[in-house]
Amino acid sequence: MRIPDYSGGSIVNLVSSIRQGCGGEGTLYPELRAFTSERIAAAQNVVLLVLDGLGYDYLTTQGAGSQLQQQLHCGLDSVAPPTTAASITTFLTGVAPQQHGLTGWFTWLREVGAVVTVLPFAMRGNRSELNSHGITPQQLFNHTPLFDQLNVAGYSLMPEQLGESVFSQAMLGKGELVLYRGMDDYFAKITDVVQRGNHAKYLYAYWPQFDSLAHQYGLQSKQLARQFFQLDKGFTRLQQQLAGSNTLLLVTADHGFIDTTAESRLLINDYPDILACLQIPLCGEPRLPYCYVRSSQRARFVELVTQQLGHALVIHQGETVIAEGLFGLGEAHPELNSRVGEFVLEMKANYVLTQRLLGEAEYHMVGQHGGLSEAELRVPLVVAHC
């Protein structure tokens, strides 16, 4: 099993470098070996552009020759699982899933007795929003936003449709929310924030559309290539506009991607004997599902999965992968074990495993992430000083 390099080569270490470079105190995660806080501290403005889904593989192959690729500093590991819910929470808190406890798009929260889609902050199935029942992210997660850990002015640049969500608001702390609409406005707002006064700033700038297009059309699509080169042009213009401002631009991502096929997209509903062993729906990610199995069926579950799905996956004990450090270093979140389940299925090649509940649409996403392949785990770090 491929475990991210949390000791100095992961996005959590990049955040440690940013924290200390922006006047914050250290945490249990060391700084990034390839980019320490001294270089960050020397800049008046630090801008972290997180381009959701832009993997290292894509940048160095389809993106070869681009401005972004030419200023590639190094590759980084994401966190496990390499998916938006886990990785973005790392960017916004400075700790890995081992501490923040968000282990995938679908997370079993025994505190509310439901499988929850954490970023929309809603229950799976009936899609009821947790805040409508008086439940807050602070009650469930007790995160300290990164903006509250810095000694500079903090800004969070988010698209209008996401920035005012319950989860985004919970991660804001004392940071200032800046909303944008479309790519041109995204880059314009970065310039606007940097040029606000002469005080030191940290700006987190999130762009989601590359991820959406990769899911829908795949890595080889013209739609994704067009999006990438539009981002590259915007990044080039941004450097020109910020020239002489002592601004450090850091570009990275939350995860990479692989492409799947109709044949590699498996549905556990088609394996009724295996499905009957589960006590709640599959959680985690289609590339790294967590299985909550009826106690009397655990031996049978392992046997059936090995026999019927052994070509597509490797089965692990949940407690074992936690002990091996898959989710991070140090003391674990008190609910981490309950949010991983008895078994973790590591999908091979380009296989995914999903479950369709009553009322849910069929699953047809081409691009996938959340597994432990290099393509999914490895993200770029682009560095430019303006």
Alpha helix stretches (DSSP H) within the chain: 11-21, 37-41, 56-60, 67-70, 84-93, 97-100, 137-141, 160-163, 166-170, 183-194, 209-217, 222-241, 272-275, 298-309, 318-323, 374-377
Write down the residue that tokens 């479309």 correspond to.
Answer: 182
- The pLDDT confidence band at residue 28, using thresholds 50, 70 and 90, is confident
Q: What values do phi and psi take at 195, rounded to 5?
A: -85, 5
- Give residue 155's pLDDT: 98
- The pLDDT confidence band at residue 59, using thresholds 50, 70 and 90, is very high
- On the question of pLDDT at 267 being above 90, the answer is yes
How far is 367 from 55, CA to CA, in rounded Å?
12
Q: What is the homologous superfamily of the domain 11-259+373-385 according to CATH?
A: Alkaline Phosphatase, subunit A (3.40.720.10)
- Give residue 292's pLDDT: 98
- On the question of pLDDT at 142 being above 80, the answer is no
For 96, the token pair is 């890995």
pTM for the predicted model, two decimal places: 0.97
- Give residue 220's pLDDT: 97
- On the question of pLDDT at 87 being above 90, the answer is yes
For the chain, give every residue range classified as CATH 3.40.720.10.
11-259+373-385
| Structure confidence by residue, pLDDT tens digits, 192-230 | 999 999 999 999 999 999 999 999 999 999 999 999 999
User: What integer is the mean pLDDT of 249-257?
Assistant: 98
For the chain, give every residue range classified as CATH 3.30.1360.
265-367
- The pLDDT confidence band at residue 237, using thresholds 50, 70 and 90, is very high
User: What integer is the mean pLDDT of 66-92?
Assistant: 98
Q: Assign a CATH topology to domain 265-367.
A: Gyrase A; domain 2 (3.30.1360)
For 379, the token pair is 């993200």
The angle subtended at Cα 119 by Cα 337 and Cα 341, nearest 5°, is 20
Q: What values do phi and psi take at 170, rounded to 5?
A: -70, -25
How far is 281 from 358, CA to CA, in rounded Å?
11
